[in-house]
């Protein structure tokens, strides 16, 4: 009897196992089919797209212009040839571009001086920047190290192969003599810096003072660039980054995108002793492109999902789908864009998650790019609580937003627990919509937050710790992108620039704001491509990092860091902190990657053109003397990610710190866990957690320098293990892949 029972039980177990395996196969197959559908869509766009509509498909464009040279009329040959040379540089064929121009000079029996005329200046300009770029490629890329391209250039950052920079110096000096401007002057100084000749060997009439310690803080701790050591120095173009715990093991992982249509997104999983590339294992192969990404748990299943944004800056060619990557909770992701109801075709790079109707589920607002020729209205997708969304902008009074949108963020401006919406519009007035219990009202004009007219990234934050969200919106003046270096040089010397400057709007507490940009020392022409904020030194005041640049190769200016001084001003710490990387900056994340209680900074570098790639960087925060607390919140009535939750920390020294749960700015995504600096305070006297959909919770006498988890409605903070990770010195060469 026992034998029969055993045989029956064994048969039953095996049957269940086989059935379970079959169901798993079916589930995996469906997941794969969903993802394959998006992969095929992206492949089709790349294979069938017209290169004329894609300014960054430079290899294809070079071939196109080359084929035309022999076909065009004689009077157009030199123009077509010049276009061909431009595309060679943009495609990364730098030496070939140089050879073409130098051979042209020989054939025409010209000197460099002969080309320095109004008509021929573009040719010598192209040659000069090509030599400067060649120096970067032969040194900063081919011999890449942790010091490469970080101003002020010294030690291992100095070029070994001097040829590119020396030729650039020769040419720029001649151009400057006939056409003097700050743009040429900065590039000339930069070339001297790269070979260790700045400032002493730079002629006085050319010399620019860098760093200028009269306008930049010198006494600041230096961060160390460690991306190579961590194995996350991913080489690519401009893109986004999301940092969070994607596999729920308590460690922060890194997800990266890149702009190119064939550029693979990457997932690097934190193993506690280093990062490993788990892109293939995660089912992400073929998920390409993306200028930005944001993350959140959209379906409240406890797994953090990722939203990838595509098509920005491409106008007619920008009808690309975004991707919603559902985290399956087993280390894999599935592209569920279509089944979730999010499939649309617009150029965009900005979106934001928020529970706009306070129903406990996150909704999604997407800012699209409209031009005079083509309308791409913004979209508001309301969560249907079943894994799907419906577009309902008209039901929330948001259907008329139609501009060249570059940044969108949610934040509560009046502490009523309803998320309000701020929109950065390039070439128009910025917009603030008050969330009036689920219906949005445009209060931009009365709130006083419409400038600047040329803006890009933006965010809500409490810059002065008064309990009200302020707004920073960074400038990006597209009228002057060919002279970014010149504007930077002027500003560096304390001179005024003509470009639009950034705005810091301080919340007055009555749904109006005051422009305090000048008082806080950030009325600057940042030319911000990416940005985010965090706390560099755990002093409880929020600092920010700006990724600078444009597609132009001449826009080689440092990315910049600003430290918050007691909530009353900002001081620049770019050079002293070791943040002044001259490669173009994009997605930025502040996050404690090594579990030591302070925030490290990861930045995606690289331009838009195919040949303007560069390894990303990660700046390790030196151990701070200040204290901290880390809180991971889990919503129950509120959304699972706890986005929109506010923290009020009353410290034993009488100080109060406010913190909002979100991923930071509109270009780059921080971890959703709250990483809060406390200064010298050794005890949190009272911690108040203000949930969007339930009563506030209060905890007394909370110990510092600990990580806690809190579930909404539970009466106890759960202390979690949190020890510094001994990350391996892996020196992985991802940058050469």
**pLDDT over threshold 70, residue 28:** no
Q: For all residues of the chain together, what is the average pLDDT?
A: 93
Query: What is the token pair recorded at 358?
Result: 């306070």
Residues present in the chain in total:
737
**pLDDT over threshold 80, residue 2:** no
In terms of C-beta distances under 8 Å and separation of at least 24 residues, what long-range contacts does 57-63 make, across chains too? Answer: 57/261, 57/610, 58/87, 58/90, 58/91, 58/92, 58/609, 58/610, 58/611, 59/87, 59/91, 59/610, 61/87, 61/90, 61/91, 62/87, 62/88, 62/90, 62/91, 62/93
How do residues 183-193 score in pLDDT, each as one tens digit?
Answer: 999 999 999 99
Position 12 scores a pLDDT of: 37
Q: How far is Cα 334 from Cα 29, in angstroms, rounded to an integer?
A: 11
Query: What is the token pair recorded at 167?
Result: 């030729």
Q: How far is Cα 554 from Cα 388, in angstroms, rounded to an integer?
A: 45
Query: What is the token pair recorded at 251?
Result: 């460690």
Position 187 scores a pLDDT of: 98
pLDDT-wise least confident of 183-197, 552-566, 722-736: 722-736
Confidence of residue 16 (pLDDT cuts 50, 70, 90): very low
DSSP calls for 161-223: S-HHHHHHHHHHHHHHHHS--HHHHHHHHHHHHHTT-TTTTS-TTT---SS-TTTS----PPP
SS (H, E, C) 481-538: HHHHHHHHHHHHCCCCCCCCCCEEEEECCCCCEEECCCCCCCCCCCCEEEEEEECCCC
Q: How far are the Cα atoms of 262, 349, 719 from residue 5, in angstroms, in the given order?
A: 58, 62, 47
Q: How far is Cα 665 from Cα 671, in angstroms, rounded to an integer?
A: 12
Measured in degrees and rounded to the nearest 5, phi and psi for residue 534 equal -170, -160
State whether the Cα torsion 389-391-396-400 is positive or negative: positive
**Eight-state DSSP code of residue 465:** -
Share of the chain above pLDDT 90, in %: 91
How do residues 610-669 score in pLDDT, each as one tens digit?
Answer: 999 999 999 999 977 899 999 999 999 999 999 999 999 999 999 999 999 999 999 999
Position 273 scores a pLDDT of: 85
How do residues 205-244 score in pLDDT, each as one tens digit?
Answer: 999 999 999 999 999 999 999 999 999 999 999 999 999 9
**pLDDT over threshold 60, residue 13:** no
Angle between helices 484-492 and 182-194 (to 10 degrees): 80
Confidence of residue 726 (pLDDT cuts 50, 70, 90): confident
**pLDDT over threshold 60, residue 58:** yes
How do residues 296-353 score in pLDDT, each as one tens digit?
Answer: 999 999 999 999 999 999 999 999 999 999 999 999 999 999 999 999 999 999 999 9
Neighbours of 74 (CB within 10 A): 6
Position 267 scores a pLDDT of: 98
Position 19 scores a pLDDT of: 41
The more confidently predicted of residues 493 and 320 is 320
Q: Are strands 405-411 and 420-425 parallel, antiparallel or unpaired?
A: antiparallel
pTM of the predicted protein model: 0.94
Query: What is the token pair recorded at 728?
Result: 């391996």
Confidence of residue 30 (pLDDT cuts 50, 70, 90): low
Helices (H), 551-669: none
How do residues 386-395 score in pLDDT, each as one tens digit?
Answer: 999 999 999 9
**Measured CA angle at 675 (ends 538, 680), to 5 deg:** 30
Spell out the residues 6+ positions from residue 155 whose beta carbon is closer than 8 angstroms to its own. 147
Confidence of residue 274 (pLDDT cuts 50, 70, 90): confident
**pLDDT over threshold 60, residue 247:** yes
Peptide linkage before 199 cis (omega within 30 of 0)? yes
How do residues 166-183 score in pLDDT, each as one tens digit?
Answer: 999 999 999 999 999 999
Position 728 scores a pLDDT of: 56
Q: How far is Cα 418 from Cα 357, in angstroms, rounded to an integer?
A: 8
Ramachandran area for residue 281 (φ above 0: left; ψ -120 to 50: alpha; else beta): alpha
Neighbours of 204 (CB within 10 A): 6
**Measured CA angle at 57 (ends 372, 139), to 5 deg:** 125
**pLDDT over threshold 60, residue 22:** no
SS (H, E, C) 706-718: EEEEEECCCCCCE
> Rounded mean pLDDT of 397-420?
96
């Amino acid at each position: 009897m026992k034998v029969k029972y055993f045989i029956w039980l064994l048969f039953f177990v095996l049957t269940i196992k086989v059935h379970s395996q079959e169901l798993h196969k079916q589930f995996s197959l469906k997941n794969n089919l969903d993802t394959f559908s998006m992969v095929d869509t992206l492949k089709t766009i790349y294979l069938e797209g017209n290169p004329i509509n894609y300014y960054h498909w430079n290899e294809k464009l070079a071939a196109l212009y080359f084929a035309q040279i022999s076909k065009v009329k004689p009077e157009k040959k030199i123009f077509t040839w010049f276009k061909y040379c431009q595309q060679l540089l943009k495609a990364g064929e730098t030496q070939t571009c140089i050879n073409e121009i130098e051979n042209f000079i020989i054939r025409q029996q010209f000197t460099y001086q002969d080309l320095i005329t109004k008509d021929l200046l573009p040719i010598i300009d192209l040659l000069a920047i090509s030599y400067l770029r060649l120096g970067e490629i032969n040194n900063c890329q081919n011999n890449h190290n942790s010091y490469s391209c970080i101003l002020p250039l010294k030690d291992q950052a100095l070029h070994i192969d001097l040829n590119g920079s020396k030729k650039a110096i020769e040419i720029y000096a001649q151009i400057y003599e006939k056409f003097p401007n700050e743009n040429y002057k900065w590039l000339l100084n930069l070339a001297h810096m790269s070979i260790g000749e700045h400032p002493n060997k730079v002629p006085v009439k050319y010399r620019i003072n860098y760093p200028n310690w009269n306008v930049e803080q010198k006494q600041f701790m230096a961060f160390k660039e460690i991306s190579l050591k961590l194995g996350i120095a991913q080489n690519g173009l401009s893109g986004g980054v999301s940092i969070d715990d994607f596999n729920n093991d308590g460690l922060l992982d890194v997800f990266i995108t890149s702009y190119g249509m064939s550029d693979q997104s990457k997932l690097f999983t934190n193993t506690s002793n280093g990062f490993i590339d788990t892109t293939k294992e995660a089912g992400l192969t073929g998920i390409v492109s993306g200028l930005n990404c944001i993350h959140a748990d959209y379906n409240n299943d406890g797994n953090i999902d990722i939203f990838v944004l595509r098509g920005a800056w491409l106008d007619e060619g920008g009808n690309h789908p975004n991707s919603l990557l559902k985290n399956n909770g087993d280390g894999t992701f599935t592209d569920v864009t279509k089944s979730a109801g999010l499939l649309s075709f617009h150029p965009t790079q900005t979106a934001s998650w928020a529970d706009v109707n306070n129903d406990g589920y996150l909704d999604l607002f997407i800012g699209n790019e409209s031009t005079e020729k083509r309308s791409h209205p913004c979209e508001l997708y309301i969560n249907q609580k079943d894994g799907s969304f419906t577009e309902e902008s008209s039901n929330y009074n948001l259907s008329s937003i139609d501009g060249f949108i570059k940044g969108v963020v949610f934040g509560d401006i009046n502490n009523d627990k309803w998320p309000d919406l701020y929109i950065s519009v390039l070439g128009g007035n910025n917009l603030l919509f008050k969330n009036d219990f689920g219906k949005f009202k445009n209060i931009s004009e009365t709130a006083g937050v419409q400038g600047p007219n040329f803006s890009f990234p933006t965010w809500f934050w409490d810059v002065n710790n008064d309990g009200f969200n302020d707004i920073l919106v960074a400038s990006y003046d597209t009228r002057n992108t060919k002279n970014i270096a010149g504007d930077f040089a002027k500003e560096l010397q304390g001179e005024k620039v003509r470009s639009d400057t950034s705005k810091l709007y301080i919340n007055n507490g009555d749904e109006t704001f005051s422009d305090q940009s000048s008082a806080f020392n950030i009325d600057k022409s940042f030319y911000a491509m990416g940005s985010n904020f965090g706390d560099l030194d755990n002093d409880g005041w929020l600092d920010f990092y700006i990724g600078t640049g444009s597609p132009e190769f001449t826009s080689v200016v440092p990315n910049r860091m600003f430290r918050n001084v007691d909530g009353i001003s900002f001081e620049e710490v770019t050079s002293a902190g070791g943040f002044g990387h001259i490669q173009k900056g994009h997605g930025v994340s502040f996050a404690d990657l090594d579990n030591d209680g302070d925030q490290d900074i990861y930045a995606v570098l690289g331009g838009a053109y195919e040949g303007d790639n560069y390894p990303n960087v990660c700046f390790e925060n030196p151990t701070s003397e200040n204290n901290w607390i880390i809180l991971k919140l889990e919503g129950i009535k509120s959304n699972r990610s706890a986005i929109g939750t506010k923290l009020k920390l009353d410290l034993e020294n009488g100080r109060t710190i406010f913190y909002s749960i979100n991923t930071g700015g509109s270009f780059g995504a921080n971890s959703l866990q709250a990483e809060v600096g406390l200064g010298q305070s050794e005890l949190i006297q009272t911690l108040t957690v203000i949930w969007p959909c339930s009563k506030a919770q209060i905890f007394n006498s909370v110990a510092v320098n600990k990580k806690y988890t809190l579930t909404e409605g539970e009466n106890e903070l759960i202390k979690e293990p949190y020890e510094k990770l001994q990350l391996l010195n892996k020196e992985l060469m991802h940058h050469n892949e």
